[in-house]
């Protein structure tokens, strides 16, 4: 079963022209693909439909793209390889941090974008700045399994952290998660689509309080509810 899935993914990868910067999916029988050098890394917006997206995900994506037309909502682009400017922002705060060795830089990926198309986190986030809220459309792929047939709680935590972070995000300010509290109410079926509705509840000095729920597309099932506290890093502190 795994073998035929992998074969399907290989042909999917091939159909997409073996995109530059996208390693070929591996099987048990082959060594892990060699990752390419930094100069070959390309920045593809991953928050756009790809062939692994289900009908539900594409439908919801189209609905939100329509809402973007009057400017009330915006789609947030998302990249596998972190943009240099963001890294620079964080470097200012973490002076003691040892930089990633040059030879491994091209391997560095945003965790939730670290899997090839369809295998891990497929998601797109839309933001309504006036209403201080975001909607994340998420499809958890087969590599995110926890209990058989369901998405791993850690993967749910990761996508919730991401959705809340982008809801709390302040342009030009570096923020980090200080606290994340999740109630897992129902298991999320693997390869299904869920909707994560997040909102900024309160801003108190450097503290941003956010909350979200994870719902089925028909809104009949609430899978999880979470609250998060994000802290704007203090430029005066510089080093932690």
Ligand X SMILES: CCCCCCCCCC(=O)SCCNC(=O)CCNC(=O)[C@H](O)C(C)(C)COP(=O)(O)OP(=O)(O)OC[C@H]1O[C@@H](n2cnc3c(N)ncnc32)[C@H](O)[C@@H]1OP(=O)(O)O
In angstroms, give the least distance from the CB of 194 to ligand X.
18
137 burial via Cβ count (<10 Å: 0-12, 13-18, 19+) = buried
145 binds ligand X (CB under 6 A): no
The residues carrying an active-site annotation are 161
Residue identified by tokens 């029988």 is 29
206 binds ligand X (CB under 6 A): yes
Closest CA to 62 of 127, 155, 143, 126: 126
Span 213-232, contacts to ligand X by CB under 6 A: 229, 231
Span 58-97, contacts to ligand X by CB under 6 A: 86
154 binds ligand X (CB under 6 A): no
**The one among 177, 199, 216, 221 contacting ligand X by CB under 6 A:** 177
Note whether 232 and 174 are within 8 A (CB).
yes
162 binds ligand X (CB under 6 A): yes
Question: How many residues of this chain bind ligand X (CB under 6 A)?
Answer: 18
**The one among 1, 205, 218, 236 contacting ligand X by CB under 6 A:** 205
In angstroms, give the least distance from the CB of 209 to ligand X.
10
198 binds ligand X (CB under 6 A): no
Span 6-65, contacts to ligand X by CB under 6 A: none
179 binds ligand X (CB under 6 A): yes
In angstroms, give the least distance from the CB of 233 to ligand X.
6
Span 93-122, contacts to ligand X by CB under 6 A: 110
**The one among 135, 136, 165, 190 contacting ligand X by CB under 6 A:** 165
Between 17 and 205, CB nearer to ligand X: 205
167 binds ligand X (CB under 6 A): no
By CB under 6 A, name the binding residues for ligand X: 86, 110, 161-162, 165, 176-179, 205-207, 229, 231, 233-234, 237, 240
């Amino acid at each position: 079963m795994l073998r035929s899935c992998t074969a399907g993914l290989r042909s999917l990868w091939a159909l997409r022209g073996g995109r530059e910067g996208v390693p070929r999916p591996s099987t048990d029988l082959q060594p892990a693909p060699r990752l390419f050098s930094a100069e070959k890394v390309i920045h593809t917006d991953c928050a756009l439909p790809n062939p692994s997206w289900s009908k539900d995900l594409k439908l919801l994506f189209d609905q939100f793209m329509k809402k973007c037309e009057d400017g009330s909502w915006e789609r947030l682009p998302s990249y596998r390889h972190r943009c240099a400017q963001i890294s620079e922002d964080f470097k200012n705060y973490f002076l003691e941090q040892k930089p990633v060795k040059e030879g491994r830089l091209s391997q560095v990926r945003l965790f939730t974008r670290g899997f090839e198309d369809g295998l891990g986190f497929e998601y797109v986030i839309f933001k309504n700045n006036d209403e201080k809220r975001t909607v994340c459309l998420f499809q958890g792929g087969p590599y995110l399994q926890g209990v058989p047939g369901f998405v791993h709680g850690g993967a749910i935590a990761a996508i919730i952290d991401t959705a809340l972070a982008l809801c709390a995000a302040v342009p030009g300010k570096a923020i980090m998660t200080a606290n994340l509290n999740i109630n897992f109410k129902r298991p999320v079926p693997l390869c299904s689509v869920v909707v994560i509705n997040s909102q900024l509840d309160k801003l108190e000095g450097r503290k941003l309080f956010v909350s979200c729920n994870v719902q089925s597309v028909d809104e009949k099932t609430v899978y999880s509810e979470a609250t998060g506290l994000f802290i704007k890093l203090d430029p005066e502190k510089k080093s932690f």
